[in-house]
């Protein structure tokens, strides 16, 4: 993390404006970086960039390593000659991603681009592509997995024929040859994503903006990670999970939450020096300057629910790798720039693990009210080594949150913050800027004062999530100067005026 006080903005790239139905890594992303730099910000925080699977969630992905091809800037493919000139019609007032209609159209365009690229023969770009393939250790397993998924009509890998689901070396080689064309397409898409993200990150760095990524601790069962590495997960001989991840019953849910992710065989990983985790962190640190570790407590202990159960009531806490893993990571990768997502019911053991390595935790201002003056999220209880947020991708916007409170709760918020409540998003942002926390991160929706319609995710809701986008006309012309003034006032401004 930066030395001293700083501030940043949380926005997933899919929420960027632009033609084509979804935010991409193209011109609008660079314009957004310019906006952040002009405000005096230091950070751009994103959600996982992986291919979204179940419910279009970036936290449920077919790969812990791959990038989401839907974010590829098609205009760049046109400039490079892989796509004919396209007119992407921007629908008036397009504030949401319509994944259902977008995915087939965009997938076809990307496949066409790959076909043109491979038909172009041996070029400097082809040499660059082969170099990427040779140096990207996870790529072939992922590309083969996606090609098999297409062959078997999108079914989860455990529903494939056993020869494909539980593949041996001979079948692996045979399938790699048979499915060569589709494997090539998948590798091309990952190459394009990787180089476009690399260019964008370099652009951000030149503007003084560092990028915070996100690493979900658990991976999806239907992923290349589990299919190709069954020996590091707690699975039976048929590849079915013997236990599943979740959290026990609590104030929010009488039956707990059953996430369904497979759990790691930490003893098998320890015997291998935690190699899969070392490579995962190594790869993500090549993409980001800092990483938020989602569900950090799972490294200390995780809730194991026996396979086949319909809810999370009957489970048990099982110790995770704790210090052993982080010592292995540090010995291989050096100091780790990590934010520990330590929300929810956190034990002293989890806090000790976080603090031993100096990882900052998270303080969410929307969680600060309603339980008295000792609530750790109230600004007067903050510590320097933490990251304060008004809310996260799982929260309502601050304006929506305040509007949903009872009159008594609103009174408490106004009394504590010393405000009228006329602009609740601004009130919470001011509290975040004033906090002693070294770093403040503001969801972009709060920065531009949007209400519940701009919420990114409602946990537990099956559809309608991850769709929100902004448009440039939502931004006041004086926003940049106004925010820069606040950054300077509260000692969080990192950049000289442009």
**Radius of gyration for the chain, computed over Cα atoms and rounded to the nearest angstrom:** 23
The CA distance from 70 to 119, in Å, is 23
User: Do the beta carbons of residue 25 and residue 72 sit within 8 Å?
Assistant: yes
User: Which residue spans within 347-417 are E strands per DSSP?
Assistant: 361-364, 386-389
Of the candidates 73, 82, 222, 341, the residue annotated as catalytic is: 341
How far apart CA 340 and CA 349 sit, in angstroms, is: 14
Opening angle at CA 355, ends 354 and 356, nearest 5: 95
Q: Which of 399, 431, 426, 439 is nearest to 482 (CA)?
A: 426
Q: CA-CA distance, 9 to 438, in Å (whole number)?
A: 14
State the catalytic residue, choosing from 34, 94, 394, 426: 394
Give 250's strand partners: 253
**CA 2 – CA 7 distance, rounded (Å):** 10
322 vs 349: CA distance, rounded Å? 9
Q: Where are the alpha helices (DSSP H) in 166-247?
A: 169-178, 180-206, 224-228
Q: Give me the residue label for tokens 């098998």.
A: 268
Whole-angstrom distance, CA of residue 471 vs CA of residue 487:
24
Q: Is 463 a residue of the active site?
A: no
Is 28 in contact with 22 (CB distance < 8 Å)?
Answer: no
Catalytic site residue from 73, 182, 294, 300: 294
Count of C-beta atoms within a 10 Å radius of residue 40: 23
Beta-ladder partners of 9: 44, 442
The candidate with the shortest Cα–Cα distance to 262, out of 273, 246, 278, is 246
Distance CA 468, CA 444 (A): 11
The rounded Cα 344 to chain-centroid distance in angstroms is 19
| 237 catalytic residue (yes or no) | no
Largest CA distance in the chain: 70
Residues 42 and 208 sit within 8 Å (Cβ to Cβ): yes
341 is catalytic: yes
Taking each helix axis from N to C end, the angle separating 124-135 and 139-151, rounded to the nearest 10 degrees, works out to 100
Q: Which residues are catalytic?
A: 294, 341, 394
């Amino acid at each position: 993390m930066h030395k001293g006080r700083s501030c940043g903005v949380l926005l997933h790239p899919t929420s960027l404006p632009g033609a084509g139905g979804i935010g991409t890594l193209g011109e609008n992303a660079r314009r957004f970086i310019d906006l952040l730099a002009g405000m005096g910000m230091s950070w751009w925080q994103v959600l996982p960039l992986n291919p979204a699977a179940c419910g279009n969630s970036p936290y449920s992905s077919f790969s812990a390593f791959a990038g989401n091809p839907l974010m590829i800037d098609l205009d760049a493919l046109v400039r490079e000659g892989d796509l004919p000139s396209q007119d992407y019609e921007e629908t008036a007032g397009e504030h949401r991603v319509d994944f259902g209609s977008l995915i087939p159209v965009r997938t076809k365009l990307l496949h066409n681009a790959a076909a043109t690229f491979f038909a172009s023969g041996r070029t400097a770009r082809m040499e660059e592509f082969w170099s990427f393939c040779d140096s990207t250790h996870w790529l072939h397993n992922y590309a083969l997995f996606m090609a098999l998924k297409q062959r078997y009509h999108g079914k989860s890998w455990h529903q494939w024929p056993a020869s494909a689901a539980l593949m041996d070396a001979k079948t692996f080689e045979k399938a790699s040859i048979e499915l060569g064309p589709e494997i090539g397409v998948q590798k091309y898409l990952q190459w394009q994503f990787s180089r476009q993200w690399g260019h964008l990150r370099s652009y951000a760095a030149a503007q003084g903006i560092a990028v915070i990524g996100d690493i979900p601790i658990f991976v999806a069962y239907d992923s290349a990670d589990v299919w190709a590495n069954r020996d590091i997960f707690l699975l039976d001989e048929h590849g079915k999970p013997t236990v599943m991840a979740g959290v026990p019953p609590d104030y929010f849910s009488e039956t707990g939450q059953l996430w369904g992710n497979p759990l790691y065989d930490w003893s098998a990983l320890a015997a291998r020096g935690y190699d899969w985790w070392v490579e995962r962190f190594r790869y993500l640190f090549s993409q980001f300057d800092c990483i938020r570790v989602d569900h950090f407590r799972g490294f200390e202990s995780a809730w194991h629910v026996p396979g086949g159960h319909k809810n999370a009531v009957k489970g048990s806490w099982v110790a995770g790798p704790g210090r052993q893993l982080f010592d292995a990571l540090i010995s291989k990768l050096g100091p780790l720039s990590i934010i520990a997502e330590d929300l929810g019911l956190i034990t002293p053991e989890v806090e000790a693990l976080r603090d031993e390595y100096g990882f900052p935790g998270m303080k969410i201002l929307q969680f600060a009210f309603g339980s008295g003056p000792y609530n750790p999220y109230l600004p007067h209880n903050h510590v320097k080594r933490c990251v304060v947020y008004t809310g996260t991708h799982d929260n309502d916007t601050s304006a929506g949150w305040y509007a949903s409170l009872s009159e008594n709760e609103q009174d408490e918020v106004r009394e504590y913050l010393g405000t009228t409540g006329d602009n609740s998003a601004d009130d919470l942002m001011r509290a975040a800027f004033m906090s002693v926390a070294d770093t403040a991160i503001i969801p972009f929706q709060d920065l531009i004062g949007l209400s519940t319609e701009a919420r990114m995710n409602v946990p537990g809701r099956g559809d309608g999530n991850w769709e929100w986008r902004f448009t440039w006309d939502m931004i006041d012309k004086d926003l940049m100067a106004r925010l820069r003034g606040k950054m300077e006032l509260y000692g969080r401004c990192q950049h000289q005026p442009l």
